[in-house]
């Protein structure tokens, strides 16, 4: 597959709504722009892990080992459901006024949430496995191409989800969203629960 085609595929994967998008949106609405940006950083860091084990061939071994793959799948499903339920039941408490401000020292919590949300998603693992199976070959130059593509995906995730955090906390849109904050929190929480349930139930 040509690099341009892979770049386009990566862009489509990143911008398509999924659990990462819902998490960044929820954290941005509830705790402000900085929380969303930290979540985006965590997602980008998780991408580096996916790239590392894809290039080493470990993801292939995991995908061929049913019990290990299921362990990762169920762990990811449970984590998404946990985040979703937390958002649903915390919606009423967080429904009023401006979002709580996020101090610099609090950023690690949202970074960890973003990191685990992406890292524990086996769909992301299989995506990188399939992509790198196209990029990697015995030739040495393919290693450089794979590394370049990996850096591209890390940067792309960071930029896109940071843009989501900035956009949904922009003054004009923010005022409208704050009026619907309770419903949005419930919708985001329900979305995470649905993603988690689909992931856990999928055979």
Whether the CB-CB separation of 199 and 120 falls below 8 Å is answered with: no
Distance CA 75, CA 82 (A): 11
Asked if 41 and 111 count as a contact pair (C-beta separation under 8 A), the reply is: yes
Interval 52-81: pLDDT, tens? 888 887 667 666 787 877 787 788 788 888
- Quick one: which of 32, 63, 17, 61 has its CA closest to 160? 17
Token code pair at residue 152? 């591209």
The whole-number average pLDDT for the span 103-112 is: 80
CB contact at 8 A, 161 and 39: yes
The per-residue pLDDT for 78 is 87
**Both tokens assigned to 1:** 């597959």
SS3 at position 203: coil
Residue 192 half-sphere exposure toward CB, CA atoms < 13 A = 30
Is residue 169 over pLDDT 60?
yes
Specify the DSSP class assigned to residue 101.
Answer: P
User: Which segments of 91-169 does DSSP mark as H helices, in order?
Assistant: 107-119, 122-135, 140-167
pLDDT band at 91 (very low <50, low <70, confident <90, very high): low
Q: Tell me which of 18-27, 68-77, 92-101, 126-135 is least confident.
A: 92-101
pLDDT score, position 119? 93
Q: Are 35 and 102 in contact (CB under 8 A)?
A: yes
Model pTM score:
0.77
pLDDT of 92 strictly over 60: no
Nearest to 128 by CA among 26, 39, 10, 20: 10
């Amino acid at each position: 597959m040509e690099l341009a085609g892979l770049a386009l595929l990566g862009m489509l994967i990143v911008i398509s709504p999924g659990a990462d998008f819902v998490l960044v949106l929820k954290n941005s609405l509830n705790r402000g722009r900085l929380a969303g940006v930290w979540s985006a950083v965590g997602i980008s860091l998780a991408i580096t892990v996916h790239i590392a084990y894809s290039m080493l061939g470990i993801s292939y071994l995991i995908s061929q080992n049913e019990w290990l793959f299921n362990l990762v799948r169920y762990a990811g499903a449970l984590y998404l459901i946990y985040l979703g339920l937390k958002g649903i039941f915390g919606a009423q408490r967080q429904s009023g006024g401006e979002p709580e401000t996020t101090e610099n020292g609090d950023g690690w919590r949202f970074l960890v949430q973003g990191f685990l949300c992406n890292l524990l998603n086996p769909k992301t693992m299989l995506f990188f496995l399939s992509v790198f199976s196209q990029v990697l070959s015995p030739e040495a130059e393919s290693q450089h191409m794979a590394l370049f593509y990996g850096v591209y995906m890390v940067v792309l995730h960071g930029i896109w989800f940071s843009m989501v955090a900035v956009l949904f906390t922009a003054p004009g849109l923010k005022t409208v969203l704050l009026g619907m904050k309770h419903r949005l929190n419930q919708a985001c929480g329900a979305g995470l629960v649905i993603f988690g349930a689909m992931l856990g139930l999928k055979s």
